[in-house]
């Protein structure tokens, strides 16, 4: 069951990564014409991803919280025994970054809901960038930790 939830957590994270990456690139580096791969990637309407990102973030976060206790008992104990401090510390950072991201979600939803309000353009860029960073960092760290010691 834990392995199933871990895979589901990873799949939700992949979907979240795609959505937040599209939105962040569209906000920071908008493309006027969708010609070719890179401009097409950036030429999306970022606001349309907002609800999906909020829902995926919460689902991924909850799944991560459910599989956290098995990690605490097996994975982290192993990392401490093996003195793999940087991997352990990266996971600590992951949980703090994503917790702050969770608290920022209402504000994120608010600024992206009013997509035509130019006064919130910087807030839209920054909230997306922070979630982009937190989600990518969490994804890579989770992968590394799972490669070092899976929760079986």
Partner 1 sequence: MMIARLSPIFSAAFAIAYVIIEQNNLALFTYHPRINEWGWLMEPSRNGPGMYWFGWLGSSALVAGLVSLVSVPLLRNRPVPSIMGWAVPLICMVLFVYLLRAFFFR
Smallest separation, CB 87 to partner 1 (Å):
9
- Per CB under 8 A, residues contacting partner 1 are 65, 68-70, 72-73, 76-77, 83, 85-86, 88-90, 92-93, 95-97, 99-104, 106-107, 109-111, 113, 119-120, 122-123, 126-127, 130, 133-134
Alpha carbon distance 76, 70 (integer Å): 9
Alpha carbon distance 28, 144 (integer Å): 28
Report the residue number, 19 or 111, with the smaller CB distance to partner 1.
111
Alpha carbon distance 48, 61 (integer Å): 21
Question: Which pairs count as long-range contacts for 61-69, CB under 8 Å and 24+ apart, including other chains?
Answer: 61/98, 61/102, 63/5, 63/8, 63/9, 63/12, 64/9, 64/98, 64/138, 64/142, 66/5, 67/2, 67/5, 67/6, 67/9, 67/151
Smallest separation, CB 61 to partner 1 (Å):
9
Helices (H) and strands (E) in the chain, counts: 7, 0
Smallest separation, CB 85 to partner 1 (Å):
5
CB 37 within 8 A of CB 3: no
Smallest separation, CB 10 to partner 1 (Å):
20
Smallest separation, CB 37 to partner 1 (Å):
30
Report the residue number, 38 or 117, with the smaller CB distance to partner 1.
117
Report the residue number, 7 or 99, with the smaller CB distance to partner 1.
99
Report the residue number, 32 or 152, with the smaller CB distance to partner 1.
152
Report the residue number, 34 or 80, with the smaller CB distance to partner 1.
80
């Amino acid at each position: 069951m834990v392995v199933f939830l871990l895979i589901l957590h990873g799949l939700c994270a992949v979907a979240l990564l795609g959505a937040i990456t599209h939105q962040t690139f569209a906000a920071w580096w908008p493309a006027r014409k969708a010609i070719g791969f890179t401009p097409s990637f950036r030429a999306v309407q970022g606001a349309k991803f907002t609800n999906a990102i909020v829902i995926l973030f919460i689902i991924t976060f909850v799944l991560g919280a459910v599989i956290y206790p098995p990690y605490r008992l097996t994975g982290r104990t192993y990392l401490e025994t093996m003195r793999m401090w940087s991997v352990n510390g990266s996971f600590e950072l992951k949980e703090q970054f994503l917790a702050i991201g969770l608290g920022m979600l209402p504000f994120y939803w608010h600024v992206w809901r009013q997509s035509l309000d130019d006064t919130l353009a910087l807030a839209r860029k920054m909230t997306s960038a922070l979630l982009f960073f937190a989600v990518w960092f969490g994804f890579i760290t989770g992968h590394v930790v799972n490669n070092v010691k899976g929760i079986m």
